[in-house]
Amino acid sequence: MKIFIAGGTGFVGGHIVEALRKQGHTVRLLVHRRGPETSNGVDQVEGDVTLLESIESAAEGCDAVINLVGIIREFPARGVTFERLHVQATANMLTATSKAGIRRYLQMSALGTRPDAVSRYHGTKFQAEELVRSSGLDMTILRPSLIYGPKDAFINMLAGQLRLAPIMPVIGSGTYRLQPIHVSDVARCFAMALQLNESIGQCYELCGNERLTYLELLDAIATAIGRTAPFKPRAPLGVMKLIIPIFQHLPQFPITMDQLQMLIEENICDGSWKKVFGFEPRSFQEGIWEYLR
């Protein structure tokens, strides 16, 4: 199959492209600016996913479409908003898919996406999902939990801070849970979904096997880099809810209210995806050990 992918040049996208190539598929990547021509079944087409006219014909000649476009933080002054990158981008991708006569469509969403979501991140992800569900295409939606792996942002950031000093401030109790999944497992699910007819019309929540509190997550990272468990002073949740809105508009400030909301409401799932895809995800400690040590 020839697959058209938007959002395929980043951390997760690179692994998905590699997983598709290993299965013998060829890939057409949407890029803002064409780089050096790649080989081994990957080509590039220039366009902007938020501008329909620039991608209307980008999927022509392909057999399936995968939309991986998403952001975790907004920068409105640059036009980087959840509405543009989640909702409008999805609408444009669906239009391009239908115009090219393609039936098969995969969408990356996020664990925690739901109609009554508190965070705007999850709210706009759900709006995008609704567009996909009402498109009439042979669609599959995948909702990964926290994705980790080589060159990830979150785990590497925490590891970098712990290498500087064995102190890690924690907002609130730190007992809220996460269920991270390795990027290679996410990529494997995307590649397999294209081949599984039973996945058409379905939405899968992807997570690892371990449910870790944020405190346990920090200790696991410290162990992986050969450090002792860090000192974890608590920052009261009520105080942070007053401070964050004041400073979250500064690019250098490390957290937004949306991110705080997603952190404290937990990020876990029941693991039922394994019954469909038929494999066990990598363990968190083993996975981070490979690239943090």
Give pLDDT tens digits for 179-213.
999 999 999 999 999 999 999 999 999 999 999 99
Per-residue pLDDT for 169 more than 70? yes
Per-residue pLDDT for 282 more than 80? yes
Amino acid identity of residue 146, one-letter, is L
Can you tell me the distance from the alpha carbon of 90 to that of 107, in angstroms, rounded to the nearest whole number? 9
Give the model's confidence band at 274: pLDDT under 50 very low, under 70 low, under 90 confident, else very high.
Answer: very high
The CA-to-CA distance between both ends of the chain, in Å, stands at 38
Per-residue pLDDT for 214 more than 90? yes
* Structure token digits, residue 244: 């964050």
What is the mean pLDDT of the segment spanning 212-222? Answer: 98
Model pTM score: 0.95
Half-sphere exposure in the Cβ direction for 237 (13 Å, CA): 10
Q: What is the pLDDT of residue 267?
A: 94
46-66 CB burial, b ≥16 within 10 A, e <16: ebebbebebbeebbeebbbbb
Higher pLDDT, 232 or 38: 232
Can you tell me the distance from the alpha carbon of 146 to that of 218, in angstroms, rounded to the nearest whole number? 14
What phi and psi, each to the nearest 5 degrees, are found at residue 230? -75, 160
Share the mean pLDDT of the chain.
95
List of residues 6+ apart from 53 with CB closer than 8 A = none
Q: What is the pLDDT of residue 34?
A: 78
What phi and psi, each to the nearest 5 degrees, are found at residue 233? -65, 140
**Percentage of residues in the chain having pLDDT higher than 70:** 99
Give the model's confidence band at 39: pLDDT under 50 very low, under 70 low, under 90 confident, else very high.
Answer: low
Residue carrying the six token digits 């083993």: 286
- Alpha-carbon torsion, ordered 102, 108, 112, 116, to 10 deg: -40
**Angle value at C-alpha 133, between 128 and 134, nearest 5 degrees:** 100
Per-residue pLDDT for 40 more than 90? no
Per-residue pLDDT for 36 more than 80? no
Q: What is the pLDDT of residue 37?
A: 60
Can you tell me the distance from the alpha carbon of 192 to that of 206, in angstroms, rounded to the nearest whole number? 13
List domains and CATH numbers for the chain.
Answer: 2-147+181-207+268-279 (3.40.50.720)
The torsion region of residue 105 among left (phi > 0), alpha (psi -120 to 50) and beta comes to: beta
